[in-house]
Amino acid sequence: MIELTLYGRPGCHLCDEMRAGLQDLRSEFVFQVIELDIDRHPELTRRYGALIPVLELDGREVCHFFLDEQALRERLTAAEATRTGNPV
């Protein structure tokens, strides 16, 4: 299964918006979202600070602040093709 990582913090309205946008994409793609509260991890707080939310796929940033649906669709399509062995 494809895993996305969402870095954020509680009370972050942009994080809530990105989470809602991800939910909308579940009708098109199968993926799991791992949410990490950067305030619980000092190294993540230093790394991301005010950049949140940050969305990653396979350890690479897809977008931050706002969900870039087009970029995410492209990355999810490529990830699905890689996992099934079917070229895009």
Taking the model in full, what pTM does it have? 0.92
Collapsed DSSP state (helix, strand, coil) of residue 28: coil
pLDDT per 10-residue tile (average), the chain, 88 residues:
96 97 95 98 95 96 98 96 73
Could you give all domains of the chain from N- to C-terminal order, each with its CATH number? 2-84 (3.40.30.10)
Query: Using the 8-state DSSP alphabet, how is residue 1 labeled?
Result: -
pLDDT the model gives residue 72: 98
Strand partners, 56: 5, 61
Give the residue among 69, 67, 57 at the shortest CA–CA distance from 1. 57
Site of tokens 């699905």? 80
**Predicted local distance difference test score (pLDDT) of residue 88:** 55
